[in-house]
Amino acid sequence: MPFDISKLIDFVEVEIKRFAEIHRSEHFYAFTIDANLLCLNSEEEFAKTLSDYRTRAPEYYSTSSDVESLRANTGDWAYQGFAQFDDESGFDQELYDLHYDIGLDVDEGAVELSTTEYARAMDEVIRNLKKGKAFENLKRTPDFKITRVEHSY
């Protein structure tokens, strides 16, 4: 089954609205799709993570480059996978697996990763989310970003 873009967008919109109701006081700086995970992070949660990491490993996270890298790393986000695509929401796991397998064989940024059915579908979801009102219920920073993460291994 190919990706169902309309169902994916509808799913994201519903999940973000639900999420926004619970996290009304936070200020969000980014949303990303990471494989089949929907991810958000807030300034407040990032500050907690940075403080915790600096306490545990003070030799790291001292440069602005280190801090920005942490800020962008969805694996360190408080809300990585706050919702997850599945078959019912229009996600095609087999096509994602093909995309993932390509990532095992090529370097980050390889053109092959940008042309898979998964990449094209998620790029279309992102384009539509940027045009729509999915994030209107979230408090967002002026530089709020909507992206997808690419992995190569």
Query: CA 145 to CA 29: how far, in whole Å?
Result: 6
Amino acid in the structure at residue 41:
N
β-pair partners for 39: 32, 80
The pTM score is 0.93
Ordered per-residue pLDDT tens for the chain, 153 residues: 699 999 999 999 999 999 999 999 999 999 999 999 999 999 999 999 999 999 999 888 889 999 999 999 999 999 999 999 999 999 999 999 999 888 887 777 678 788 899 999 999 999 999 999 999 999 999 999 999 998 655
Tokens of 40: 């958000």
DSSP string, 103-119: HHHS-TT-HHHHSSHHH
Our CA angle for 18, 146, 24, nearest 5°, is 35
Query: CA 118 to CA 101: how far, in whole Å?
Result: 12
